[in-house]
């Protein structure tokens, strides 16, 4: 793999983060963060609230099993979509640029998928809509992730990654607020956040100085290239392999909390179905407030002292502690305490881990979209695998969520250990 700038790719202005005065182009960074926020606002509230409510309403007897199927199969589409569309964005020769077409197409396709979920009359229809939404939003996410590598200079990636990390919980809070406000209007509950995501993507497209690829110079794309869209050899690039493993383990634990939070509140803490949207809104607000604080602080400190690994290690351990607090929570108030601690760990992790991965990314100039798409598999694969694992743990433990969250905490602690062997970054 080449480490230099390929001749066929025309970069944008060297880096958006290198303005004429040597500072940051804050207008671009703000719009970039808002586009991220719009995507998470549309994608995460259905996981937290919408799918739980829709599945429970259509199949109350087998809600846990049906939700696991919907989430697991949908995650497979996300698993495929992010690296695949990342590779396609690296090869896109549109006169509008390499990333712009996927930003808009992904947001519009995601809205279409959520519309199907909102109007579904059966579990298979929910499954279809969710798969479309996952595929489309991961195409958009692949383009968004590549922009960090394309447009942000290395010395500013920790800070910008921290800002991007804040956009996720802000999107979650805004999305769950909308879901709570429109809980009696199913279509609006799904499509209002999706509309915000489309508008934010269009704003980013308007200001993005996108890279362009000449058609005559585009590399071939066959079965070999298709297969390598999903693989980076961890023996050849061990640092990337360790960082990928660390992220996979942390998100394995986080996906348990994300997916089963609603059912946990109903079955373990005794909340009613009508209370769940409000309770999840409060817990998301508590978690997000902590994410905002620790993401900003973690990203700036990481850039200032030039170290990433210690922040990732500490953040993962904090998140593991949070899962243990939730596992043994005797009341909703203790659950809120656990969610707040999880926000501290998640905020620091999101601020630094993506910057760490970008610092050691193989062949960053030519294949940033594809390689960051492979990195994002570590986020998505747990969503496919963990529902099956969670169902087995719940069955073996007699349906108690305590065992499930203890298992999740162990996985996250292993993720803290996995970052230690990285040698290419401090």
Burial of 150 (0-12, 13-18, 19+ CB in 10 A): buried
pLDDT tens digits along 144-176: 988 887 787 777 777 787 777 778 778 877 887
Residue-number span of the structural domain to which 157 is assigned: 9-418
Report yes or no on 403 lying in a domain.
Answer: yes
**pLDDT of res. 7:** 43
**pLDDT of res. 391:** 83
User: Taking all residues of the chain, what is their mean pLDDT, rounded to a whole number?
Assistant: 82
Give the position of tokens 């929570």. Answer: 329
Report yes or no on 2 lying in a domain.
Answer: no
Q: How many domains, the chain?
A: 1
Report yes or no on 375 lying in a domain.
Answer: yes
Report yes or no on 1 lying in a domain.
Answer: no
Give the position of tokens 């998100």. Answer: 251
pLDDT tens digits along 169-181: 788 778 878 877 7
* pTM for the whole structure: 0.70
Does residue 10 sit in helix, strand or coil? strand
Q: Cα 326 vs. chain centroid, distance in angstroms?
A: 22
Report yes or no on 179 lying in a domain.
Answer: yes
pLDDT tens digits along 373-384: 777 778 778 877
Which CATH number is 220's domain given? 1.20.1250.20
Report yes or no on 3 lying in a domain.
Answer: no
* CA torsion through residues 91, 77, 193, 268, sign: negative
C-alpha closest to that of 47 among 246, 346, 259: 259
pLDDT tens digits along 279-315: 888 888 898 888 888 877 776 777 777 777 888 888 9
Report yes or no on 116 lying in a domain.
Answer: yes
Report yes or no on 195 lying in a domain.
Answer: yes
CA–CA separation, 205 vs 195, rounded Å? 16
CA–CA separation, 295 vs 289, rounded Å? 10
Segments of the chain with pLDDT less than 50? 1-14, 17-22
pLDDT tens digits along 244-282: 899 899 999 998 998 888 888 988 888 887 788 788 888
């Amino acid at each position: 793999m080449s480490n230099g700038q390929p001749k066929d790719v025309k970069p944008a202005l060297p880096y958006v983060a290198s303005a004429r005065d040597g500072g940051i182009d804050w207008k671009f960074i703000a719009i970039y963060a808002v586009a991220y926020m719009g995507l998470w606002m549309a994608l995460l509230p259905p996981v937290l609230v919408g799918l739980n409510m829709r599945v429970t309403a259509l199949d109350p007897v087998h809600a846990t099993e049906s939700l696991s199927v919907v989430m697991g199969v949908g995650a497979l589409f996300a698993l495929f979509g992010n690296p695949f569309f990342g590779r396609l964005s690296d090869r896109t020769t549109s006169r509008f640029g390499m990333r712009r077409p996927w930003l808009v197409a992904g947001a519009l396709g995601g809205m279409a998928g959520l519309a199907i979920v909102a109007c579904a009359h059966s579990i298979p229809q929910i499954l279809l809509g969710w798969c479309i939404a996952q595929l489309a939003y991961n195409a958009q996410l692949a383009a968004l992730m590549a922009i960090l590598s394309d447009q942000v200079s290395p010395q500013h990636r920790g800070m910008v990654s921290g800002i991007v990390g804040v956009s996720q919980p802000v999107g979650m809070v805004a999305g769950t607020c909308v879901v709570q406000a429109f809980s009696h209007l199913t279509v609006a509950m799904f499509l209002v956040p999706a509309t915000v995501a489309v508008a934010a993507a269009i704003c980013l497209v308007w200001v993005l100085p996108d890279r362009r690829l000449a058609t005559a110079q585009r590399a071939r794309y066959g079965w070999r290239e298709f297969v390598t869209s999903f693989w980076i050899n961890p023996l050849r690039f061990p640092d990337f392999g360790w960082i990928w493993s660390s992220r996979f383990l942390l998100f394995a634990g986080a996906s348990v909390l994300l997916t089963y939070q609603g059912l946990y509140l109903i079955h373990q803490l005794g909340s009613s179905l009508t209370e769940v949207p409000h309770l999840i809104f409060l817990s998301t607000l508590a978690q997000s407030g902590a994410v905002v604080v620790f993401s900003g602080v973690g990203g700036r400190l990481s850039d200032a002292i030039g170290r990433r690994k210690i922040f990732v290690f500490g953040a993962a351990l904090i998140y593991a502690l949070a899962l243990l607090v939730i596992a043994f929570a005797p009341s909703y108030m203790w659950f809120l305490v656990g969610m707040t601690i999880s926000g501290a760990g998640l905020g620091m992790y999101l601020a630094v881990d993506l910057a760490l991965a970008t610092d050691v990314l193989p062949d960053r100039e030519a294949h940033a979209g594809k390689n960051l798409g492979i990195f994002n598999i570590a986020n998505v694969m747990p969503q496919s695998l963990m529902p099956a694992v969670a169902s087995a743990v719940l069955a073996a433990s007699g349906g108690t969520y305590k065992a499930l969250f203890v298992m999740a905490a162990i996985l996250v602690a292993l993720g803290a250990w996995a970052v230690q062997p990285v040698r290419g970054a401090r």
